[in-house]
Amino acid sequence: MTQEAPKKKSFVHQVHHLFRGQLLYAFATWAVLAMLLKFGSDVEAGKYTLALAMSAPIFLFFDLNLRVTRSTDHQFNENYRNYVGLRILCLTVASLITAIVAMTFFPERILVFLGMIAFRIGDSLSNLSFGGYQRMQESDRIGKSLTWKGIVCLSLLAIVIPMSSGQAWVATMFMAAISLTWAITIDLPGAWRLNESDYPLTFTSAIEFVKDLSASARIAHRSLPLGFDALMSSLALNMPRYCIEYFFGTAALGVFGVLSQLAFSIQLLIGAVGHAGVSVLSSLFQQDNNQPFWRLLHRMLLASVGVGVVAIIGGSLVMPELLGWLLRPQLNETLLLFLLLVASGLAGIQRTAGRATQACGSYFVYTMFDVVIFATSAISSLLLVKHYGVFGAATSLILAFAAGLLVTLIYIYGVLAKAHNHKAPEAGASNP
């Protein structure tokens, strides 16, 4: 297997591009929900939110978080084509299961779910490509891809959704078309050229990758804890939404979906720090470079906290008025947005901290963090949502991610540092 040597690009350079791309793409995905609410109804926004919430755990589990596995694969050096083969195989299974769930429980919304399935397939293929970029330390390419993809989504859907009177199935179908086209023509070929420059990517060769079950089994065995982790994480985030749908109906879910997706966009921004640094952390760990490992981890944590604090304060000041002006005055929910922003900030910081365990290959431990988050979210949602509605849902998310962050930090500084036979330096003295 021939691979190009990674280009040396600074951590700040890569974070900058990822940050910009994540910001624009997060806004584009939120804008879809916002336009459904504005030009359609609360119910149409609720249909879209429900399709997102129901499909997410299934697809994220079968994705096996191969993006992280690939970006940290400095020990096993599996062929990138084997990752692609496993991803195609898993997407087939996830699509079938989601379709069965939709036809069984939501037959009247089958078009929305079919569009969401196609959207998830394209998004998943792009996500694996991003793992290929990260391993070669080309994370700035991810940011550029997300930036242009967000611009295209915004431009087309700003025309299509008003023309369709805010129909959820139309929005999902167009999102699916954009996602699939982008993955097949831009993201997948670009990552392929970096990781498999001497091996052609064709439809026939892709089938051969899928048939290589021994390679798929090896990768799946290592990645299964990450798939379970993604399942727990998704269920933790969506438990309040399931409870809102059950207790208050689709219309209430639509309004909550618009607010929560906007607030949780800052988790994606904070996540740019972790995604940019995890491959470097993994490389440092494999080389037993403990001092640089901890310095970089502290830089990542400080950066994520800084981004989170600024985003929470700025979002609390700007978002309520913006929502009231763009959509409707009733959405000027300052307290609810603040609670959701705090939950999102905690989630993003916890994810960044958890990258340390992923970089060390401790996937099972990382999964246990999300088991704690899911258990806290499930219990608090069942107790709070019925009595306090959307405010109970937001509070349950804060409790869940605060518990997850606490457990993660205890493990990193109470177990991981000692296991490395290294006393972690103080955060204030971590500047290189």
pLDDT 10s digits, 255-268 = 899 889 888 888 87
267 closest CA partner among 5, 23, 13, 38: 23
Half-sphere exposure of 140 (CA within 13 A, CB side): 10
CB burial string 130-148: b at 16+ within 10 A, e below: bbbbbbbbbbbbbbebbbe
Residue 361 CB neighbours (<10 A): 19
Percentage of residues of the chain with pLDDT beyond 70: 86
Poorest-pLDDT segment among 148-162, 203-217, 238-252, 294-308: 203-217
Query: What is the Cα–Cα distance from 416 to 427, expressed in whole angstroms?
Result: 16
Higher pLDDT, 322 or 65: 65
Confidence (pLDDT) at 220? 87
Q: Which pLDDT score is estimated for 355?
A: 84
Gyration radius (Cα) of the chain, Å: 21
Instruction: List pLDDT tens digits, range 99-121.
Output: 999 999 999 999 999 999 999 99
Q: How far apart are CA 398 and CA 409, in angstroms?
A: 16
Name the residue with higher pLDDT: 107 or 143. Answer: 107
Q: What residue spans define the domains of the chain?
A: 11-420
Enumerate residues 6+ apart whose C-beta is below 8 A from 360.
Answer: 282, 285, 416
pLDDT in tens, 396-416: 999 999 999 999 999 888 877
Identity at 414, one-letter amino acid code: G
Whole-angstrom Cα distance, residue 398 to residue 419? 30
Q: Are 134 and 67 in contact (CB under 8 A)?
A: yes
Candidates 380, 431, 68, 52; CA nearest to 219 is 68
Q: For residue 233, what are the CA distances in angstroms to 218, 338, 358, 366?
A: 24, 21, 15, 11
Residues comprising the chain, all counted: 432
pLDDT, mean of residues 189-195: 78
- pLDDT tens-digit series, residues 340-363: 999 999 999 998 888 888 788 777
Mean pLDDT of 216-242: 90
Max mean pLDDT range (24-33, 245-254, 371-380): 371-380
CA 305 – CA 281 distance, rounded (Å): 18
Mean pLDDT of the chain: 84
Sequence-ordered list of residues with C-beta below 8 angstroms from that of 404, at least 6 positions apart, any chain: 346, 347, 350, 369, 370, 372, 373, 376
Each residue of 226-235: pLDDT tens digit?
899 889 989 9
Q: Which residue in the block uniquely carries the two structure tokens 């179908």? A: 173
Closest residue by Cα to residue 61 from 370, 305, 329, 304: 370
Cα distance between residue 432 and residue 430, in whole Å: 6
Residue 310 to residue 404: CA distance in whole angstroms: 21
Count of beta carbons in the 10 Å neighbourhood of residue 171: 28
pLDDT tens profile 31-47? 998 899 889 999 999 99
Higher pLDDT: 334 or 174? It is 174
The answer to whether 4 and 197 have CB atoms below 8 angstroms apart is yes
41-64 pLDDT, tens digit per residue, is: 999 999 999 999 999 999 999 999
